[in-house]
């Protein structure tokens, strides 16, 4: 099949140049994998991977040592620099036996594009495109792309046994593309999920992040719950945790995946998505049932923040991301004061970026409750309006933004030390409560406070 001209034109000149130079030297060269998939979906690919019949040494010869980087050589990959970008150029290869459910024991090159496509994970990722727009698609990837299906190339049970990471990649592509997983592939994921235990925590962490930030995350984690929970056993207690209370309609896990379904795409950043995933993980451990049979989860947000820290440390997420997510988890059940002063206090506590994320987390959380919780949405909207309003004011939310500083107080005769700190703090509290952040008024007030 020859691709439409408009799609061919979406290939950047530098990528063409890489293909042209390989062809001019007598080798086959194709774009392959994610970029072909994205091109066919009408999306702009992030990166352009090339596969070629040239051996790595030959690729180096074609481009010259100055234009290449050799970091991926063990896998037959040479990075080629062209037009200010880098391209991974990988020699056609077949993979042999897998000893550890993850890494092929050795890499064998081949001169056949079809053999190379056969080792790729899913049909939608096993298509190649050449300079003339000719698509090589031996596994009906295009058909699955149109149908919105993730399907293994070859026997799914064997493919997942070779490399258990593919199980998580299937979930990730499902969540990111909003695709269903073909029946045989889904059954094989379920059957082979035990091998997920062999994956490194870091890989699990990055795949989970890719999943939860995808637009279809809620649906994917809902449908393939057992597989997902095998990858993330720390969340498994939530799957069995009932919530007998009028504000809820399902288990903690059901509530969590439903909350993810409401996540606004503009807010699908790691902090917000992970906070929703982890927000109620403190519930199983804090659940109590009163004599009327109603469940309570006192302190679950604090307990959850601690468990979230543990989970994110185990998954090797960066410390800063972990702390931001844990803060959102800790604050998700906060009593909201939907007033300008309430918004200023929250700004002082967490800053604007975190506050906007917190509002989104609480919004999604609230939507995944019964209708009884709906009033909280109005409170939240009011808080959002107040937030926009107070950000327009020339106000201060931190000591740094206050119109007076330590030097000003010193010139009033207040010596540096705890007393000065106390006065600055009191001034900030008054500004947070609504007093103007006005220099002369604040100096006057500081004088008063100092004389008391
Ligand atoms: P993304 O948009 O996430 O980068 P991608 O399809 O480009 O998607 P990569 O991880 O960059 O994914 O891999 C590039 C290609 O290599 C895939 O499209 C697939 O053909 C192949 N591939 C990657 N990982 C595996 C794997 N574990 N098993 C088999 N094939 C794989
Ligand atoms: Mg890629």
The Å distance, Cα 387 to ligand 1 centre, comes to 42
Q: What is the pLDDT of residue 77?
A: 95
The Å distance, Cα 342 to ligand 1 centre, comes to 47
Asked if 107 and 119 touch (Cβ cutoff 8 Å), the reply is no
Q: Give the Cβ contact number of residue 284 at 10 Å.
A: 22
Which H or E run contains 201? Answer: helix 201-212
Residue 209's nearest CA partner among 109, 162, 145, 276 is: 276
232-393 has the same fold as 148-230: no
The Å distance, Cα 148 to ligand 1 centre, comes to 17
Over the stretch 332-369, which tens digit does the pLDDT of each residue have?
A: 999 999 999 999 999 999 999 999 999 999 999 999 99
In the three-class reduction of DSSP (H, G, I as helix; E, B as strand; rest coil), residue 149 is classed as: strand
pLDDT above 90 (res 6): no
Pocket test for ligand 1, best of 114, 121, 145, 195 (most atoms within 8 A of CB): 121
DSSP states of 383-444 as a string? Answer: HHHHHHHHHHSS--SSGGGSS--HHHHHHTTPPSSHHHHHHHHHHHHHHHHT----HHHHHH
Query: d(Cα 326, Cα 305) in Å, to the nearest integer?
Result: 5
Query: d(Cα 116, Cα 137) in Å, to the nearest integer?
Result: 12
Which ligand is located closest to the Cα atom of residue 176? 1
* Percentage of the residues of the chain whose pLDDT score is greater than 70: 98
Which H or E run contains 6? Answer: helix 5-9
pLDDT above 90 (res 377): yes
Residue ranges per domain, the chain? Answer: 1-142, 148-230, 232-393, 399-451
- How many CA atoms lie within 13 Å of 390's alpha carbon, on the beta-carbon side? 29
The Å distance, Cα 262 to ligand 1 centre, comes to 28
Over the stretch 54-71, which tens digit does the pLDDT of each residue have?
A: 999 999 999 999 999 998
Over the stretch 281-298, which tens digit does the pLDDT of each residue have?
A: 999 999 999 999 999 999
Confidence of residue 263 (pLDDT cuts 50, 70, 90): very high
Over the stretch 159-212, which tens digit does the pLDDT of each residue have?
A: 999 999 999 999 999 999 999 999 999 999 999 999 999 999 999 999 999 999
Per-residue CA distances from 93 to 112, 269, 380, 437 (Å):
8, 36, 55, 66
Question: Atom 10 (ligand 1): residue with closest C-alpha?
Answer: 34
With a 6 Å cutoff on the Cβ, whether 330 touches ligand 1 is no
Per-residue CA distances from 299 to 280, 302, 437 (Å):
11, 6, 36
Over the stretch 128-166, which tens digit does the pLDDT of each residue have?
A: 999 999 999 999 999 999 999 999 999 999 999 999 999
Please state which CATH number belongs to domain 1-142. Answer: 3.30.460.10
Pocket test for ligand 1, best of 30, 51, 87, 120 (most atoms within 8 A of CB): 120
Residue 428's nearest CA partner among 449, 398, 408, 451 is: 398
Over the stretch 95-118, which tens digit does the pLDDT of each residue have?
A: 765 666 666 667 799 999 999 999
| Burial status of residue 447 (CB atoms within 10 A of its CB: 0-12, 13-18, 19 or more) | middle
For 49, phi then psi, to 5°, come to -95, 145
The Å distance, Cα 167 to ligand 2 centre, comes to 17
With a 6 Å cutoff on the Cβ, whether 125 touches ligand 1 is yes
Per-residue CA distances from 385 to 164, 332, 380 (Å):
47, 19, 9
Neighbours of ion ligand 2 (CB under 5 A): 34
Place of tokens 């659940």: 287
* 186: its two tokens: 């889904």
pLDDT above 70 (res 82): yes
- Which CATH number fits the domain 148-230, given the four candidates 3.40.50.720, 1.10.110.30, 3.20.20.70, 1.20.910.10? 1.10.110.30
**Residue 155 CB contacts under 8 Å (≥ 6 apart), including other chains:** none
In the three-class reduction of DSSP (H, G, I as helix; E, B as strand; rest coil), residue 91 is classed as: strand
Question: Atom 27 (ligand 1): residue with closest C-alpha?
Answer: 166
Query: d(Cα 54, Cα 355) in Å, to the nearest integer?
Result: 53
Per-residue CA distances from 37 to 40, 127, 137, 285, 299 (Å):
5, 7, 11, 44, 46
Strands of the 68-69 sheet, one edge to the other:
68-69, 77-82, 85-91, 49-52, 29-32, 128-129, 135-136
Which ligand is located closest to the Cα atom of residue 90? 1
Query: d(Cα 183, Cα 177) in Å, to the nearest integer?
Result: 17
Q: What is the pLDDT of residue 97?
A: 59
* Percentage of the residues of the chain whose pLDDT score is greater than 90: 90
The Å distance, Cα 329 to ligand 1 centre, comes to 32
Confidence of residue 267 (pLDDT cuts 50, 70, 90): confident
Confidence of residue 4 (pLDDT cuts 50, 70, 90): confident
The Å distance, Cα 211 to ligand 2 centre, comes to 15
The ligand 1 atom nearest the CA atom of 173: 3
Confidence of residue 75 (pLDDT cuts 50, 70, 90): confident
Query: d(Cα 368, Cα 281) in Å, to the nearest integer?
Result: 15
Q: ∠ at Cα 168 (163, 172), nearest 5°?
A: 135
Mean pLDDT of all residues in the chain? Answer: 95
Question: Atom 28 (ligand 1): residue with closest C-alpha?
Answer: 121
Question: Atom 6 (ligand 1): residue with closest C-alpha?
Answer: 34
Give this prediction's pTM.
Answer: 0.92
With a 6 Å cutoff on the Cβ, whether 213 touches ligand 1 is no
The Å distance, Cα 34 to ligand 2 centre, comes to 5
Q: Does domain 232-393 have CATH number 3.30.70?
A: no
Over residues 441-445, the mean pLDDT reads 94
């Amino acid at each position: 099949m020859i691709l439409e001209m408009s799609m061919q034109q979406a290939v950047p000149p530098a990528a063409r140049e890489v293909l042209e130079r390989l062809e001019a030297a007598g080798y086959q060269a194709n774009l392959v994998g994610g970029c072909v998939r994205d091109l066919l979906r009408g999306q702009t690919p992030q990166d352009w991977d090339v596969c070629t019949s040239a051996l790595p040494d030959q690729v180096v010869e074609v481009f010259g040592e100055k234009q290449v980087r050799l970091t991926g050589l063990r896998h037959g990959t040479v990075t080629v620099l062209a037009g200010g970008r880098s391209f991974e150029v990988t020699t056609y290869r077949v993979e042999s036996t897998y000893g550890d459910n993850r890494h092929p024991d050795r890499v064998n090159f081949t001169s056949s594009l079809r053999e190379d496509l056969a080792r790729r994970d899913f049909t939608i990722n096993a298509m190649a495109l050449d300079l003339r727009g000719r698509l090589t698609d031996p596994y009906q990837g295009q058909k699955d792309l149109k149908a919105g299906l993730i399907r293994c190339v070859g026997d799914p049970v064997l493919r997942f046994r070779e490399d258990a990471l593919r199980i998580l990649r299937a979930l990730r592509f499902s969540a990111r593309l909003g695709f269903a997983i073909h029946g045989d592939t889904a059954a094989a994921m379920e059957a082979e999920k035990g091998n997920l235990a062999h994956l490194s925590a870091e890989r699990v962490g990055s795949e989970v992040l890719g999943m939860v930030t995808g637009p279809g995350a809620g649906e994917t984690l809902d449908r393939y719950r057992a597989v997902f929970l095998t990858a993330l056993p720390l969340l498994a207690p939530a799957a069995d945790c009932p919530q007998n209370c009028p504000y809820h309609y399902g288990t903690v896990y059901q509530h969590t995946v439903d909350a993810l379904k409401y996540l606004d795409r503009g807010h699908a950043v790691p902090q917000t998505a992970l906070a929703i995933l982890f927000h109620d993980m403190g519930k199983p451990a804090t659940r109590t049932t009163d004599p009327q049979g109603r469940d309570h989860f006192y302190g679950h947000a604090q307990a959850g923040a601690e468990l979230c820290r543990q989970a994110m440390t185990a998954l090797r997420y960066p410390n800063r991301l972990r702390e931001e997510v844990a803060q959102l988890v800790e604050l998700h059940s906060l009593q909201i004061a939907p007033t300008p002063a309430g918004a200023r206090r929250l700004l002082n506590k967490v800053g604007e970026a975190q506050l906007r994320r917190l509002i989104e987390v609480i919004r999604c959380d609230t939507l995944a409750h019964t209708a009884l919780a709906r009033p909280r949405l109005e409170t939240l909207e009011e808080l959002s309006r107040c937030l926009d309003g107070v950000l327009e004011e020339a106000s201060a939310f931190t000591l740094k933004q206050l119109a007076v500083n330590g030097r000003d107080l010193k010139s009033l005769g207040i010596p540096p030390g705890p007393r000065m700190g106390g006065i600055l703090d009191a001034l900030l509290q008054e500004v947070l409560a609504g007093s103007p952040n006005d220099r002369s008024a604040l100096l006057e007030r500081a004088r008063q406070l100092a004389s008391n």
